[in-house]
Amino acid sequence: MAVLFDRLNTALAANERNWTFVGTPGWKQSAEGLIYPPTWSLPAFDEDPHGVPNLYAHELAREDYAFLSSQALADTDISVEHKCPYGSVIHGGVIFRAMDTCRFYVVDIVDMGRKAQDYELTLWRQDAAGYRKVIARGRASHSIVPERIVQMGPQTREEWEHSSPDWVTVRVQASGTFIRVSLDGRIVFEARDRTWPAGCAGLVARGSVLFRNLKVVGLAAELPKPWTEHQGEPPWFFYPGGKESQGAGFNAYPAVGHTGDGTTLMTWWHHPPGRKSAGTAVVLTRSEDEGRTWTPPRRIFSREGCHCGCSSIFEHKNGAVSCLISVTPVAGHEGAVPQTYVIRSPDRGLSWPAADELAIAGRPLSVYRERHGRFSFYSPWVRLSDGAVVMCAYEHQTVPGGNAGCNADRLDRSLLIRSLDDGFTWEEPIHFDPTNFDHNECMIAETAPGRLVAFMRTLAAPCMWTSTSEDGGKTWSRLVQSSVSAECPSLLRHSSGALILASRGYGTFVRLSFDGGKSWTPECRISPASAMIGMTEMKDGRVLIAMHEGYRVPGYIRGQWFCVSPDGPVAVEDL
């Protein structure tokens, strides 16, 4: 007996009743059949028809969905043509077997950009909390984009209009537990998963991607419960100190710490609207009840005409709390140089006396930089089992005549800096690998007494570099490629012994290791926000992760909670 498959009407125009739209309104379809996600309709996206569009016009902390909710399907065959102009922050994707607007499978399509002339396709399973667990991932080549555009971006409207790889056709076939994903007729990967047996198809986007020729065929099915649209923005999050108290403008680059008496401190840099030359200030909020309530943020450090940020909050053994403050002059303030200060609170964040310039190897950092060149601090301070305190930094260099904004021109090297007096003075920096110039943004953790593991961001390699030390960080093994890829990493050793690796990409991602970083749980996307991150553990084992909403755009600081489990992070909602 022949099985009859339904071919669904996928038109958007004059067919809105068959669709459910979530996120920014404004999905459109042209007379030629091109499907435009809402970004194309935002007033700030294309204000100058002769210039490059505003690649950050979208509120990048959330996504826009179009669910073809008129008919659920069991066996599903969905295909769509996809195009991705430069700066289509951050991705587009195909949804299938959506049980509602929160639970579904999704295939993300991401241009690897500076890493490769490829698309990376990832199959995720999203749960009711809004967390996504990776099921399978693969890459497929696309047409060549000129290297100058890949590295530096388009400079003219004409360059932007020709910055996309050629159209590609993405196809997803799901039959029973079997799922196949192809690009232009070539199988990228095959996988099995039995979580969602049937549901609706659709599209997801956050940037200026384009779709056309959407085709959906499948075996009609009934959902176990009526189709519903979720309320709010999953995953659940909160605004530390309150959204209104944070204030409009740029709120970004959070750092977070937890003291022995249960006080939680969180800082970030804040720039109010307007006055671009005014720079930013470091603000702080605190909680004395394990994160249930927070004080309104207040300014603890600023310098006129400078961007000021805190990369570490650290409690000393004597109960004082230090913040490491980096100060960078705003463009146009000639003669000013980057500086780094330490401000110390004697009362766990209630008061902050005057700042002192950080000293390295007995010399003020400004003097040290004159001899060794510029470098930036990245990781929080970490106290080791032997009492030493360590932090990471990285050197800034380029090839002769190179541009620091071009990854291909950069020569970065990570450094470890040790303190033997609980973070009050610091020794000469140590190179992890002086022969490797492809790494920065390093994070370290102690996995056993004296044994350290380091992971660091790569400029060009496929996965993060990693190294180990058996003597508390004095010497390090030669860098080797790890099995994980991550941007802007944050690493935390949990009281359970697990390593927590969080990172920024086209979202905020978390994975866990229970063997000192040798192997990891499947990647989990805990937020669509492409965020810089701060993490700390609370007394009951919950992990607080702080993140900013906007990348290079105004936004707020979010907080989320999760717990550690053998299978990965588990969402914790409102306390």
What digits encode the pLDDT tens for the residues 503-547? 998 899 999 999 999 999 999 999 999 888 999 999 999 999 999
Residue 336 has a pLDDT of: 62
Mean pLDDT within 562-570: 96
Element (H, E) at 136: strand 132-141
111-137: pLDDT as tens digits: 988 888 999 999 999 999 999 999 999
Rounded mean pLDDT of the chain?
92
* CB 522, CB 556: distance < 8 Å: no
| Residue 396 scores a pLDDT above 90 | no
Residue 13 has a pLDDT of: 85
Residue 425 has a pLDDT of: 94
429-480: pLDDT as tens digits: 999 999 999 999 999 999 999 999 999 999 888 899 999 999 999 999 999 9
330-361: pLDDT as tens digits: 876 555 677 899 999 999 899 999 899 999 98
Chain centroid offset of residue 151 CA: 20
Neighbours of 152 (CB within 10 A): 14
| Residue 487 scores a pLDDT above 90 | no
Please, what are the domains in the chain? 6-221 (2.60.120.560), 374-482 (no CATH)
Please list, in sequence order, all residues whose beta carbon lies within 8 angstroms of the beta carbon of residue 569, skipping any fewer than 6 positions away. Answer: 131, 500, 510, 512, 524, 526, 543, 562, 563
Eight-class DSSP state of 307: E
- By CB neighbour count within 10 A (0-12 exposed, 13-18 middle, 19+ buried), where does 170 fall? buried
Closest-CA residue to 37 (of 73, 101, 90): 90
* CB 165, CB 143: distance < 8 Å: yes
Reduce the secondary structure of 265-301 to three states and give it as a string: EEEEEEECCCCHHHECEEEEEEECCCCCCCCCCEEEE
Please list, in sequence order, all residues whose beta carbon lies within 8 angstroms of the beta carbon of residue 117, skipping any fewer than 6 positions away. Answer: 141, 142, 143, 144, 145, 150, 165
* CB 491, CB 443: distance < 8 Å: yes
pLDDT band at 402 (very low <50, low <70, confident <90, very high): confident
